[in-house]
Structure 1
Amino acid sequence: MPQDFWGRVVYLLQTRGSSYAMGALNTMIIALVSTFIGCVIGFAVGIVQTIPVSKSDAVWKKGILGIIKFILNVYVEVFRGTPMMAQAMFIYFGSSAVFGINMSMWFAAFFIVSINTGAYMAETVRGGILSIDEGQTEGAKAIGMTHFQTMLYVILPQALRNIMPQIGNNLIINIKDTCVLSVIGIVELFYATKSVAGALYTYFESFAIAMVIYFALTFTCSRILRHWEKKMDGNDNYDLATSDTLAHTSGLYSYSKKEEKDE
């Protein structure tokens, strides 16, 4: 093995590059799938948490909704207030010891990261929904929309735009936090790096390579998500059209950056 730092790095990439590649692939699969599932869970929990309760509602409805909201609040607080590594150990080994449920490592990995992400996304979605002006909800109900229709067609499209940065942030966090799954035997990037370092006693070089790979993954994802956010912002200029063909009021409505700076 070469004696200099860069020589050892090149040697590791040549001899153990496949291990790093497989670890990085597993990391991205877990992060992407779990973030998607976590977002679905978060949207469901966040929507339920924001269901309004009025004095005119039946007592049974208030009672059932109150119990459901309490359970969801406990779920959110527990998984936001405990580390993912402890959750992984508790769920993977505890489910087998206490309930006799023998999870596969991969199922446990997706399950653990998904419900952890769902807890964080629930609060993000709840905040995103509450950030929309109440007049939007009142206007939707005034034209006869139900709560479900109001959420689906009016509130959530606007809330999604507001919470997109947090969705991207959760994906980047999950790419890094998959390393805790090494405690249950998942061969992701950290586990693969630890194996290489332990076998060849090249800890500094091995984890230097891992850090570069982690940075490349997170930087690429952040740039893609930022580009997506800009696409969701839409154009700066819009053509305002009226239904009255006799009124010449349609035209180009522009938010000039120069005018904004002057103001």
Structure 2
Amino acid sequence: MNLDFSQIVPSIPYILQGIAVTLKIVVFAALLGFVFGVILALMKIGGMKVLTWFADAYTSVFRGTPLVLQLVLIYFGIPQLTGFEIDAFPAAVIAFGLNSAAYVSEIIRAGILAVDKGQREAALALGVPYKLMMRDIILPQALKNILPALMNELITLTKESAVVTVIGAMDVMRRAYIVGGQVYRYIEPLLIAGCIYYVLVMLLTLLGKALEGRLRKSD
């Protein structure tokens, strides 16, 4: 198969250093996507047509265009439009976070609508304010139902984070490319990068199953 990892082994620690960059991007983007996703979901189920239209249009745009296009538009577009340079890390967090929010909003919306309407009617009949009802009654139940879908979105975000290499972020994939260019062998470092992403995904999968198990026991 003409594979030779002997030249790559000394560079494995260098590639592994990219895990920290990858995880930072994923964590911050996931938090941004979740918070904004909740806001968009509430807009979609609210009674204000303007907010509903905005949320639907936002979701349509970010789900209908490639993530890599959104990433490069933010990285190269913000300096062109504002005159302020933006580093690769914040550009990646913003792009991934905004993109993830579009998908998370649909997941949360579906979870909220799946909660028994009787609980909402009972809360309103008891005079519970809408914000408190959503925060303390509806959203906690919805999150239990949509946890698998949210974990799947987190896994997808982890894998898609590899595209930050196009803007020069020193993640796992970028470092694998650099090592490949140094030794003129690309398959071996890319296979190592693939193994790293696979391990990260498996760890997230196990975490998701553990959380699901705890939630079932708490019911």
Shorter chain as normaliser: what TM range?
over 0.9
Q: Relative contact order, CA 8 A, sep 6+: which one is greater?
A: 2
**How far has the Cα of 1:41 moved from its partner?**
1.0
Cα distance per residue 1:55-80 (max 9 Å; x no partner): xxxxxxxxxx3222222221111111
TM-score (norm 2): 0.94
Whole-angstrom CA distance in 1 between matches of 2:148 and 2:164? 25
Q: Does 1:30 align with 2:30?
A: no
**How far has the Cα of 1:98 moved from its partner?**
2.6
TM-score (norm 1): 0.79
Q: Does 1:40 align with 2:23?
A: no
Whole-angstrom CA distance in 2 between matches of 1:205 and 1:91? 32
Within the candidate set 45, 52, 71, 1:50 is matched to: 45
Tell me what 1:121 maps to: 104
Structure 2, unpaired ranges of 5+: none
Cα distance per residue 1:156-175 (max 9 Å; x no partner): 11100011112111111111
Whole-angstrom CA distance in 2 between matches of 1:141 and 1:135? 10
Cα distance per residue 1:96-134 (max 9 Å; x no partner): 223323212211111111111111101111111111121
Q: Does 1:20 align with 2:15?
A: yes
Within the candidate set 202, 209, 212, 1:226 is matched to: 209
Contact 1:132–1:158 (Cα < 8 Å) also in 2: yes
Cα distance per residue 1:17-59 (max 9 Å; x no partner): 22211112211111122112211111121122212x3xxxxxx
**How far has the Cα of 1:4 moved from its partner?**
6.4
Q: Does 1:168 align with 2:164?
A: no
Q: Does 1:108 align with 2:114?
A: no
Number of aligned residue pairs: give it: 219
Contact 1:9–1:209 (Cα < 8 Å) also in 2: no
Contact 2:62–2:102 (Cα < 8 Å) also in 1: yes
Whole-angstrom CA distance in 1 between matches of 2:24 and 2:74? 20
Contact 2:176–2:193 (Cα < 8 Å) also in 1: yes
**How far has the Cα of 1:219 moved from its partner?**
0.3
Structure 1, unpaired ranges of 5+: 54-64, 237-263
Q: 2:147 aligns to what SS in structure 1?
A: helix
Stretches of 4+ moved more than 3 A in 1? none
Q: Does 1:194 align with 2:177?
A: yes
Q: Does 1:83 align with 2:79?
A: no
Greater share of helix = 2
Q: 2:17 aligns to what SS in structure 1?
A: helix
User: Aligned-residue CA RMSD in angstroms?
Assistant: 1.7
Whole-angstrom CA distance in 1 between matches of 2:150 and 2:206? 13
Percent of aligned pairs with the same amino acid: 30
